[in-house]
Structure 1
Amino acid sequence: MEMKFGAIMRACREKAGLTQEQLADKLNRTQACVSKYEKDHKIPDMHTMMNWAEVTGAREVIVTFLYGMDGIGMIQRLIGG
């Protein structure tokens, strides 16, 4: 089963306790843009991904996923399951 990157981004945001609107403000994006990233309707550029990771405190999670680690297992660890 293929894991989409948007699900990882959403899990990181939720783990950080941020709403889409709050994260959008920190990234200088719109809430709609954040939603599109999380639904895999839009692909963020590398700068945006790294800012997302920094703001959510999940830099290692996103970098690890980019290197091919299992997304399902990563989400389970993020949500404590």
Structure 2
Amino acid sequence: MQYGSVFKKARKLSGLSQEVLAEKMFMPRSTISKVENNKMELKLSDAIRWFNATQAPEALAAMLCGVDIATIAQHLSMLVGGLIRWI
């Protein structure tokens, strides 16, 4: 399975450029690009560091469980909306 888009989305949502994320992770910017373009896979420890650096631990959890992040967000939004109406 290819996860480059998940890594890229987490980086973009955090507002980090490839250069800034590379500095935070002590990696070359080219490595960030290769991961996002599915030309390189990360070790689990580096994936954890990526999602910590981008403040997106839920993306890591969803990826590890094989769940689509957009689906989770949609279900949570419906749940919260239902709770608000109920209250």
TM-score under structure 1 length normalisation: 0.81
Question: Where does residue 44 of structure 1 map in the other structure?
Answer: 42
The counterpart of 1:33, out of the listed 31, 34, 52, is 31
CA RMSD of aligned residues (A): 1.8
Distance in 2 of aligned mates of 1:51 and 1:70: 20
Which residue of structure 2 lines up, in the alignment, with residue 70 of structure 1? 68
Whether 2:54 is the aligned partner of 1:56: answer yes
Residues in 2 aligned to 1:65 and 1:45: alpha-carbon distance in whole angstroms: 14
Specify which structure has the higher proportion of helix.
Answer: 2
d(CA) in 1 for partners of 2:68, 2:57: 16
Identity, % of aligned positions = 26
Unmatched tracts of structure 1, length 5 or more = none
Partner residue, 2:9: 11
Between structure 1 and structure 2, the one with the greater Rg is: 2
- Report what 2:82 is aligned to: none
Task: Report the counterpart of residue 22 of structure 1 in structure 2.
Answer: 20
> Following superposition, which runs of at least 4 residues in structure 1 exceed 2 angstroms of deviation?
none
Could you state the TM-score of these two structures normalised by the residue count of structure 2?
0.76
Q: Which structure would you say has the larger RCO, counting Cα contacts within 8 Å and 6 or more residues apart?
A: 1
